Amino acid sequence: MPNKKAILVDIKRCIGCQQCEQSCQQVHGMPVEHQAQLSETALTFVDQKGEKFVRRMCLHCEDPACASACLVGALKKSPLGPVTYDSKKCMGCRYCMIACPQGVPKYQWSKLAPYVKKCDMCYDRQLAGGIPACVEACPVQASTFGDRDALLREAWERIRNDSSYVPRIYGAEEFGGTSVFYISDVAFESLGFVAPPLGSEPLPALSAAALGETPTVVVVGGSILAALYWITQRKRQVALDELRALDNKKEERS
Ligand code: SF4
Ligand code: SF4
């Protein structure tokens, strides 16, 4: 079992240079431009709160509500830590967008074939032995990457050695724990951090309860959507196979 990885964001160190968001946009082939919120082309952004800068992104929850809401398993918590997304499985129902308390998953409304977009902690780079592009680009190590347990120890060490830090690691327990932690010299509440509705309980407990109260028509609707998606994909595959067979026949004749 690989060591679970995480990112530690130190709000006290951040100088607001936006290198992290630019680097993220570069490696994902997106337009490099600052945006004031997460979007389909801003998977992380630097939010200014008074004199403080806070990098917003997916927290990669240990027990992610987005994944538990996904009917087709397009979103998954990987053993390495990142919550990944498989566009081939996604049927576009957007339940993940409703389930995430941070409003992280975004939808490509402008595209003809839209997908959900969210940070995946540069999963491919991690598999290749690299580190997330945002962390690599940070000139002052306001974002650091490493083993989750070691980063938690490092965060407590910084708090112990500097009394200006708030004695709390946001993400250590919130939402059942996450793979992105924050430490700060300003109260998290004043920086717009979401108060977890269930404290340290993971959110899927809440979505499960909510789903229990969901009218049957919605649940049935979800199943119908899943079935329709499967049929559409199947039809597409059959059509492609037929075209390929026609091409092969043409080649044989010529
Ligand atoms: S922050 Fe939202 S999108 Fe990210 S893992 Fe948690 S529930 Fe999913
Ligand atoms: S939109 Fe895609 S990723 Fe989100 S819940 Fe639906 S199928 Fe899963």
The number of the ligand nearest the C-alpha atom of 118 reads 1
| Per-residue pLDDT, 110 | 85
pLDDT in tens, 27-58: 999 999 999 999 999 999 999 999 999 999 99
State the average pLDDT for the chain. 86
- Report the nearest-CA residue for atom 4 of ligand 1: 58
pTM here is 0.80
Distance 74 CA to ligand 2 centre (A): 6
Contact residues of ligand 1, CB 6 A cut-off: 58-61, 64-66, 83, 100, 102, 104-105, 118
Q: Residue 215: is its pLDDT beyond 50?
A: no
Q: Residue 244: is its pLDDT beyond 60?
A: no
Report the residue among 94, 95, 100 best suited for mutation to probe ligand 1: largest number of ligand atoms under 8 A from its CB.
Answer: 100
Query: Which residues fall within 8 angstroms of residue 146, CB to CB, at 6 or more apart?
Result: 5, 6, 8, 154
pLDDT in tens, 142-197: 999 999 999 999 999 999 999 999 999 999 999 999 999 999 999 999 999 987 75
Contact residues of ligand 2, CB 6 A cut-off: 69-70, 72, 74-75, 90-96, 116
Phi, psi of 180, deg, nearest 5:
-130, 120
pLDDT in tens, 51-91: 999 999 999 999 999 999 999 999 999 999 999 999 999 99
Report the residue among 66, 76, 93 best suited for mutation to probe ligand 2: largest number of ligand atoms under 8 A from its CB.
Answer: 93
Give the nearest ligand 1 atom to 119 CA: 4
Distance 104 CA to ligand 1 centre (A): 6
| pLDDT confidence band for 112 (50 / 70 / 90) | confident
- Report the nearest-CA residue for atom 6 of ligand 1: 61
Report the residue among 71, 94, 115, 219 best suited for mutation to probe ligand 2: largest number of ligand atoms under 8 A from its CB.
Answer: 94
Which of the two residues, 129 and 196, has the higher pLDDT score? 129
Distance 77 CA to ligand 1 centre (A): 10
Give the nearest ligand 2 atom to 91 CA: 7
Distance 246 CA to ligand 1 centre (A): 45
